[in-house]
Amino acid sequence: MSSSKSQSNPECPVFFSKNVTFVLKGAGIILMLFHHLFSCSADLVEKYHVSSRLIPIDKIMTLSALSKICVAIFVFLSACGITISLRQKPKDQQTGYVWHRYKKLAFGFLIVYLISILTFFLRVDRLGIYFKEGGLKGIFYMIIDASGLASFFGTPSYNETWWYMSVAILMVFAMPLLISLYDHFGLSAVVVAAMLTYLGIPLTAFTTYLFTMLLGIMAASENIYGYLFSLRKKLKSIKSDTVFYSLALVFFAFLFLVILTFRFKCGHEDLTDGLLALILSGIFFILTDLKGFRFPFLSLLGKHSMNMFLLHTLIFEYYFTDFIYSFHNWLLITLVLLCASLAISAVIDFFKSKYSVYH
């Protein structure tokens, strides 16, 4: 199955715009910070007496746990983007694109890694995680960590949230194969990916998001959001665009809440999170591309999401914990970490734009 059918319709948008991607990444990074600050740091919440005025703190913790869908959002968007890019390139250029994408990803990570190591004096004990088995092994572990593959090899990492780098890197190289599988087997490939646990395949950091990757490939290949636009053109009985898209938003929001509730009660994050990312993308496609709403702050965060992901744990958990949690209120804590991560990212990108071809 290919993308030619959906893209041949001149009335049908090729896919959602980059602005939608940035807005979704911006929403994703807020969810990530929220998730790590509270759900993943329950001990810090208790230690610093984190409070909430309008919503009970236990409900904040629950919402924070559900915010882990942020990972699927980034995986889904990456799968969509890589699929579209590879399909637009001749076969002889696809390998070059994969390597370029990898080098850009690895270079961006390496910069933040070096900054982290150079600022080790803010938390001296962090370097010790490399050298528990001696100096030579410690240096070897540092090299692996600098490559972004510490999680894949099961070796120590300076920052525990960098596990996602292994998923992101492996995904870049796996995408041509996954796209080929989708082209040969279509929806069956997506269904098989959804049944991994029932097939006895253990869920690793990578396989947990394999279903989400296939969903992203399917969404981009079949231009499923473009069909929503085409459906509007066919339904002449609904005279108003506003009414049609409002109904679509209500339907998507209902689906989102149903799946989120199922996730809360039953788990199965390897399935639910990909579906939630798919639906959330549809919601922002309608709001941004079809209805013209703009979310400038989310878009700004989206452009800095990579750096913010790599930096935020250093700031709130390793280096400046007392400062971040000194604000006590959960909303203030989140805003302070958001602004601090964004400010540092802006400085990094300023220098990258001057000296790096991978900006």
Q: Give the residue among 221, 277, 218, 260 at the shortest CA–CA distance from 76.
A: 277
Per the CB < 8 A criterion, the answer to whether 283 and 253 are in contact is: yes
Q: What is the mean pLDDT of the chain?
A: 90
Asked if the model's pLDDT at residue 12 lies above 90, the reply is no
Alpha carbon separation from 97 to 86, 90, 100 (Å, rounded): 8, 10, 5
| Stretch 31-50: mean pLDDT | 94
Which residue matches tokens 């076969």? 91
* Token output for 136: 């030579």
Asked if the model's pLDDT at residue 20 lies above 70, the reply is yes
Q: What is the pLDDT of residue 9?
A: 39
pTM above 0.75, yes or no: yes
Band the pLDDT of 15: cuts 50, 70, 90: low
Asked if the model's pLDDT at residue 250 lies above 90, the reply is yes
| Stretch 350-355: mean pLDDT | 83
Band the pLDDT of 62: cuts 50, 70, 90: very high
pLDDT in tens, 64-77: 999 999 999 999 99
Q: What is the pLDDT of residue 44?
A: 94
- Looking at residue 200, the DSSP 8-state letter turns out to be T
Query: What's the residue count for the chain?
Result: 359
Which residue matches tokens 């300076």? 158
Band the pLDDT of 1: cuts 50, 70, 90: very low
Q: What is the pLDDT of residue 357?
A: 53
pLDDT in tens, 276-329: 999 999 999 999 988 889 999 999 999 999 999 999 999 999 999 999 999 999
Burial category of 57 from C-beta neighbours within 10 Å (exposed 0-12, middle 13-18, buried 19 and up): middle
Q: What is the pLDDT of residue 14?
A: 53
Q: Is the sign of the CA dihedral 281, 185, 84, 73 positive or negative?
A: positive
Asked if the model's pLDDT at residue 198 lies above 90, the reply is no
- Contacts (Cβ under 8 Å, ≥6 apart) of 113: 145, 146, 158
| Stretch 130-147: mean pLDDT | 94
pLDDT in tens, 142-189: 999 999 999 999 999 999 999 999 999 999 999 999 999 999 999 999
Band the pLDDT of 124: cuts 50, 70, 90: confident
* Token output for 110: 């390496």
Q: Give the residue among 261, 185, 242 at the shortest CA–CA distance from 217.
A: 185
| Stretch 20-35: mean pLDDT | 97
Asked if the model's pLDDT at residue 218 lies above 70, the reply is yes
Domain boundary assignment for the chain: 4-351
Percent of the chain whose pLDDT exceeds 70: 93
What element of type H or E holds 211? helix 210-222
